[in-house]
Structure 1
Amino acid sequence: MTNESFAVTGGRSLRGDLVPQGAKNEALQVLCAVLLSAEPVTIANVPEIRDVAMLLDLLRGLGVEVEKLNSDTYRFTAREVDLDYVQSDAFEDKARRIRGSVMLIGPLLARYGRAFLPKPGGDKIGRRRLDTHFLGLQQLGAQFDYDVDRNQYSVTAKKLKGTYILMDEISLTGTANVIMAAVLAEGVTRIYNAACEPYIQQLCRMLTRMGAKIEGLGSNLLAITGVEELGGTEHRILPDMIEIGSFIGLAAMTQSEITIKDVQVHELGIIPRVFEKMGVQLEIKGDDIHIPYQEEYEIQTFIDGSIMTIYDAPWPGFTPDLMSIILVMATQAKGSLLVHQKMFESRLFFVDKLIDMGAQIILCDPHRATVIGLNRRFQLRGIEMTSPDIRAGVALLIAALSAKGTSIIHNINQIDRGYQRIDERLRAIGAQIERV
C-alpha cells in the first residue's frame, strides 16, 4: 500500500462535465452474489476502486473465474469454489482489510452450508456491529461460532429454512446478507425492517433475473420464496449517488459550473431536495444534473424561521454518507445549519480540520455540529491534514479545493477505497490537484 498524499491548490472555479462511477455500495453486494450460481454472471459499470479490487482478489482466491471484458465489465463463473481458501492466512489478511467481505457469508452459507470470516476492517466511523448479520442467519437455521484465538467467525448449516425475521437494525449489508442466504433456503422468508436503498433493490433485481423469487421490492418488508438453484444473468450497476452528491457540493463550494452526466435521477430519492435546502440551484436536464455558477448559496430555514437541521436516516431518508459533504458546504453558505449525524458516532470527528482551516463550527457532541456559514466573507485557508475515512476524505478534498493556498491531504488510500481516479477526473475540469 503506497503512502500517497494529495497536494491541492484551491480557490479555482471549475468547469465541465463529470461522469459518476458505478456505485461502490452496490458493487460490493452484487459481486458477492455471483457465488450463488455456477453459471456465468456479467456485471457492468464496476467502479475501479481499492475496495472492489480487494473483493475481486478474494473471489479469485475462492476459485471464481474472473474475466475482465472491458474497463468496467467483468464476467464471473463460480463453478468450483475452494472453501479451504476461506480458512487460509491469505484470505484472512485480505478479508480483514475490507468491510464488504462480510457479505461473502450469506452466499457461501446458502450454497455450501458453511462460511468463515475474520473480523473485518474498513472505516473508523464508530461501532459497526455484525450482530444483525449473524442473528438473521441464525434465524434461518445457521449455527454461529466465534473463535476468540483466531478472531474469526464461522457459520454452518445443513439446510437453511425460511422464517420470519425482524432485523434488529436497518443494516444495508445485513439485509443483503440475509437476502442472499434466503434465496436458496427452503420455504418462505419474510424480512421486516429490511434496508430498502436502491443498492438493495438492484441486488434483488439481479437475483430475480437469476431465478430468485422476491416480493416487496423497494419496501421494508421482503418476502422471499427459496428456490433450488440460481442461474446466470447480466447486470449493470447504478451510478454512485454519493459521488453525485459530492460533485454537487463541490460545484457549490468552488463557485463552479458543472454538469454531472447520466445520474439516473429517479434513483436519487431525497438527495437533490436536500441540496436545494442548502441553497444550491440544480437544473435537471433529462438524466443530467447541471449546477450553474452561483455567487452565493443560502441555507433555507424552517417555516417558523428556526435554524435548518439536516439529519441522516435509513432510506428513503437522507444517506449518512453525504452528511460530511453537507457539513463542509455549510461552512461557506449564507446562514446556519445543525448537522445531526444519528447513525455513526465518530463521523463528525473531522471537523477539527475544518476549524483549523477557518470554519466556524461548534461540535456539540459526537453526533451533532452547528455550522455558522461564512458566506465567503472569509475564505478557508489551506492546511496539512489526514483523511480519517472515505467520506470525510472527500469532504476535506472539497474544502481544500475551495480554500486559499495549498493543502496537503495524507492517507488518501482511504479516498481511493471509494472514489475512482478522483484526482484525474477533477484535473480534467480545471482542479489543481497532484498525487505526491
Structure 2
Amino acid sequence: MGLGDRWGACCSWCYWVNFPLWVASIACMFPSVINAVWGIEFSLGARIAIELAFVWGVTVMAMHPVAEADWVMDGGAVIKVLITAVVGIVGIWFACDNGFANDMSFKTFIPDLGDTDSLTYLSIILFNFMGFEVVATFASTMKNPSRDIPKAVIAGGVAIAAIYIICGIGIGAAVPTERLSLDSGIVDAVAAMLGRSHPLTMVVGAAFLVTLFANMICWSFGVNNVASYAARHGNMPRPFALVSKKTGMPNGSALINGCFASLVLLLQIPLGEGSDVFWVFFSMNVVFLLMSYIPMFPAFWRLRKYDDRPRVFRAPFEGKVLAVALAIPVVELVLSIVATIVPLNSSPAEMTKLPILVGVVIGVLLGEVSRLISRRGRSVDNPGVGARGTGFFAPKQ
C-alpha cells in the first residue's frame, strides 16, 4: 500500500525466500545436536534423511489449522524459556566455581565497529529481534490497542534481550569463543559445565531440538499466509495462492517451502560433508529477512505523509525527528547486510562470504523474475500512496 505493487512484490519475495533457507539451516542443526549430546555419528545420507524428515514434519504441521498446532507452539515457547533459565543458572554456578571461559567485561557486550567480525554479528543481533512487532497484527483482538500495542512491543523487546543475554552469559561462562560451535553452542556449553553424560545435558539437548521444531512451525504460519496473500494479489506466483478447500490453509505455500528447503539440503551431496552448509544457509536467510524489512520504513513514511486516516495505533514522532527515527534502522539494516555478505578485506575468513554474496545475488535475480511473471495477472500496478503514477511507479502498459 505504501510503496505499491512493485516494492510489495520484492518485499514479499524476500520475506518468503528467507523461510525455506531458514528451515534448511535449522534442519542442518538436528544431526549436529544429536551428535553433540549422544555422540552418534551419521553418514551424509543419514544426515540428509534426518534433515528432510524435519523439513517435511514442519511442512505437514503448517498445513493444519493454527488451533490444532497451538500446543506445539505454546510448548516450544515455554521450553525455550526453561532452557534459557537452565543455561543461565548453570553458567552462573559454573563461573562462581571456575571463573568465566571468556572475557565478560562490559566492552565485550558492545559491538566494535572497527572489528569486521563484530560487524558481521550485527546481522544476527538484529535477526534475534525480528518478529516481536508482529503483536501489532492482533490489534483487532485487543480492547485498547493504542495502549496495549506499545506495552506488548516494549515487553517483547525486553524479554527477547533478557533471554539472549542470560543465555549468552551461560554459554560464555563455559565455552571459549574460538571453540564455540555455530550450530550446537547451547548444548556444548551445558556439556562443558556438567559433562556430556549428565542427564541434564541430555534433557537440554532434547528440549533444544523440540524448540527448533516448534519455532519453525510458528514462523511457517505467518510466512505461508503472507506468500498466499501476495500471490492472490499478483505479487507472487499463482501456485502460492492455493489453499485447502477443507481447512482454508495455504497449502500451496507450505508445499513449495518444503520442496525448496529439500532441494537446498540436497546440495550437500555435491558440496560434501566438509562444507559449512549451515552457516551459508543461515547467513542467506538472515540477509533476505533483513532485506524484507528495509522497504517498510519508507512505506511507513509515505503512509504517514499521504494517508491520514484514523488508525488503531499511531507511532510517535513527527517531522525531522520521525525521519531520523526511520533512517536509523534502515542504516543498521544496510550495514548488517553489507557486513554479512561483502568481504571487508582479503583475509581467508572474509573471503568465505563470497558464496553467501553469490547466493544472495542469485536470490534477488530470481525474485525479480518472480515479480515479472506474477504481474501478468494485473492490468495496472498499484503505484502506492502519494505516487503520481509516472516514472518508476507508472502503471503497467
TM-score (norm 2): 0.28
Structure with the largest fraction of helix:
2
Structure with the largest fraction of strand:
1
Higher relative contact order (CA 8 A, sep 6+): 2
